[in-house]
Structure formats: structure tokens, C-alpha cells
Amino acid sequence: MKKATLLFLGLILFCLAGCNQGPSSVFESKQADSYADILVKKAVDGDTLVLGNNQRVRLIGIDTPEMHESSKLNRDAQRSGEDAATIKQLGRQAYEFTKELVEGKRVRLEFGVERFDKYKRILAYVYLTDGTFVNAEIVKQGYASLMTIPPNVKYADLFRQLYQEARENQRGLWR
């Protein structure tokens, strides 16, 4: 009986030690593997996706105009001097671009330093299976502004360069 109890306690301690290894733990690596090849069920808007597992992903480093009534739409209208209807129309264009780019396709996620935003959405850099960097492509084609929120700043310089080129070349929303 004592041997069985000691063996059981040892097994519990072993399991607990394994669960507390941090980012390199077996659990974390299995979780990361589940985002190495996952379906994008739908684009919610220009910078938010729903995966095949129903989790929402917010694309790091970019911001697209709003399509629906919200406090952000009102703030954007005030800040830009555009009316809400114009911003919604621009938001629809950004959504259509993102939808065409990713919906129904398989992607790989690269996580930032912070894994979730305040709305519990996954924060990620997203890549199509052909290697297309989705966040960057949306900026490059002129459908997003920049939204750099530390500590998720890994590609901020790239996004800034792509944004400037899109504006200078009047691509996407900058026509």
C-alpha cells in the first residue's frame, strides 16, 4: 500500500512539475502546433478573423476602418473629419480585401509578446500557407493604418514602410 501511495504521489509531482515549465512546456508546444495550420472560417472585418476552432484573432500592428456603429467609429470620424458613412464604406472595402485574402484558407499564426487583447481575442501575425504575411499584405495594399501597441512591436518598422509606400502610391483606401 505504501509503495502504491508513494508511486501515486510521485506521479502527481512529476505531472505538476511538467505543467509549470513555462512556454517550453509540452502543453504550450502542443497549443502552438495547433496554430501551425488552421482554417480561417471567416473575416469579421479588415483586421479580425474567426478560426476553424471559433477563436477570434486580432491582427497585430494594423487597424482598419470600422464597418458598424461603435464608439470607435465615432472616435475615428471625429479624429479624421470624415462622416461615419464614409468610414463605414472604407471599412467595408478593407473587410472585402481581407475576406478575399484569407477566408476559407489555411494559415499559420505567429504570436506576439502579449497573446490576448482586452476582448480575449488572440493577437497574432498571420501567414498563408504560400508564405504571404497577411498583416503586412493588408497594409501594403492600402487597406490598413498602423496600430503599434507595445510590447507587440516586432514588425512595426516593416509596417511603417509598407504604409508609407501604400499612401505614396495611392493604393487601396488611399486612392
Distance from C-alpha of 151 to C-alpha of 25, rounded to nearest angstrom: 23
Residue 46 backbone phi and psi in degrees, to 5: -70, -20
Is the CA virtual torsion 102, 46, 171, 163 positive or negative?
negative
Which is the catalytic residue, given 58, 100, 168, 175? Answer: 58
Distance from C-alpha of 127 to C-alpha of 44, rounded to nearest angstrom: 17
**69 part of the active site:** no
Residues 125 and 109: beta-carbon distance below 8 Å: yes
Distance from C-alpha of 111 to C-alpha of 143, rounded to nearest angstrom: 22
**168 part of the active site:** no
Which is the catalytic residue, given 28, 92, 114, 121? Answer: 121
**106 part of the active site:** no
Which is the catalytic residue, given 66, 115, 137, 167? Answer: 66
Residues acting as catalytic residues: 58, 66, 121
